[in-house]
Amino acid sequence: MNSGMETTIAGVTLKNPVTTASGTFGSGREYGELIDLNRLGAITVKGVSEEAWKGNPVPRVAETQDGLLNSIGLQNAGAKHFIENDIPFLRQYDTKIIVNICGHTLAQYCSVAEKFADCDIDLLELNISCPNVEEGGLSFGTDPHIVERVVGAVRHYAKQPLIVKLSPEVSDITEIAKAAVSGGADAISLINTLRGMKIDIHKRKPVLANKIGGYSGPGIMPVALRMVYEVCHSVDVPVIGMGGISTYEDALEFIMAGAKAVAVGTANFHNPYATVEIIDGIWRYMKENKISSLEEIRGCID
């Protein structure tokens, strides 16, 4: 237990500021064979929808220089399966549970939030980067009015504190963050992936079956950090930062930009110990720099 690392998000206290980025860590089972899940501040699980989603055609992951493209398409077994299988598994550990939820319509979002209302989980994370089938397929997360509306509706059904996870594909992220807060968000997390593409010039076709996928990893970190900084300076709710974090130094940049917690995603794939190494690294940095609480450096960039 490393004192001084605790962080509180909407009333929920994490023992340290490190969680996992949704979709990169399953529900923790597989990485639990390699690392001690009790070490994590929280586990954020893969997106869960009302009913099972099949996902996109393969190939659906591809490496880019210093990044990853994915078009998993939010494959998941649905809320019922998750509630029966994954919550009991996760509750064995001394870590907080953040359930990431997704939907293609407002009704689906509300329904999945409702299904979790009486479940033993700590926080809900609303992924608003999903394609909005009712409004022509553009993401829910790019129009402030729609953001406010969907957050407001889900807020109504949700019983846990609600984190709203923002899409970076907007001109002004602060406008979206403010809309989420006025819709009722208790916290904000960002960034989700940027859409990207890669072409295999020998086969003369895109590397992903879906052509376009979500771009994550170190290559997006400068954009993520800038947006986290901007959002921390424009809303009063806690912010969870993510996007390309691979080392404790990266994590500290987000904390100095103002983040209350950070999530580690793609880095798990090239270093399964990434999360615990980041926790240890932050702790070492605090010792070396005689920092007794992360509050001393959080948001030190004005």
Partner 1 sequence: MNTYCLATIVNHEEITSGIWKMELAASEIARTAEPGQFIQLYPPDKRNLLARPISLSAISEKSVTIVYRIAGKGTKQFSQLQKNDRIRIMGPLGNGFALPDQATKSIVVGGGLGIPPLLELSKRLGGNTEVLLGYQDIPFMAEDFHRLGINVHIASQSGNYGLHGTVCDLLEKFNPSAGQVFACGPRQMLKSVSAWAKEHSIPIQVSMEERMACGIGACLGCGVKIQKPGEPDWKYLRVCKDGPVFSGEEVVWDE
Ligand X SMILES: Cc1cc2nc3c(=O)[nH]c(=O)nc-3n(C[C@H](O)[C@H](O)[C@H](O)COP(=O)(O)O)c2cc1C
126 contacts 98 by C-beta, under 8 angstroms: no
Q: Which of 5, 14, 62, 68 binds ligand X (CB under 6 A)?
A: 68
Instruction: Please identify every residue annotated as catalytic.
Output: 130
Q: What angle in degrees, to the nearest 10, is found between the helix axes of 144-157 and 173-183?
A: 30
Q: Site size for ligand X, by CB under 6 A?
A: 27
Of 150 and 287, CB closest to ligand X: 150
- Contact string 5-44 vs partner 1 (x = CB under 8 A): ------------------xxxx--xxx-xx----------
Residue 202: CB minimum distance to ligand X, A: 23
Task: Please enumerate in sequence order all residues whose Cβ is within 8 A of that of 251, keeping only pairs 6 or more positions apart, or say none.
Answer: 17, 18, 245, 262, 264, 278, 281, 282
195 burial (CB, 10 Å; 0-12 / 13-18 / 19+) is middle
Structure tokens at 64: 């880019």
**DSSP strand pairing (162-165 vs 123-127):** parallel
Q: Which of 144, 168, 217, 258 binds partner 1 (CB under 8 A)?
A: 217
Closest CA to 252 of 228, 216, 219, 270: 228
Q: Site size for a second copy, by CB under 8 A?
A: 44
190 contacts 260 by C-beta, under 8 angstroms: no
Span 22-61, contacts to ligand X by CB under 6 A: 22-24, 46-47
Q: DSSP string of 168-222?
A: S-SS-HHHHHHHHHHHT-SEEEE--PEEEE-EETTTTEESSTTSEEEEESGGGHH
Of these partners, a second copy, partner 1, ligand X, none, which one is at the site of residue 256 (CB under 5 to 8 Å by kind)?
a second copy
- 209: contact with a second copy by CB under 8 A: no
Of 209 and 291, CB closest to ligand X: 209
Of these partners, a second copy, ligand X, partner 1, none, which one is at the site of residue 291 (CB under 5 to 8 Å by kind)?
none
- 218: contact with a second copy by CB under 8 A: yes
**Which residues of the shown chain bind ligand X in the complex (CB under 6 A)?**
21-24, 46-47, 68, 70, 72, 74, 100, 127, 165, 192-193, 214, 216-217, 220, 242-245, 264-267
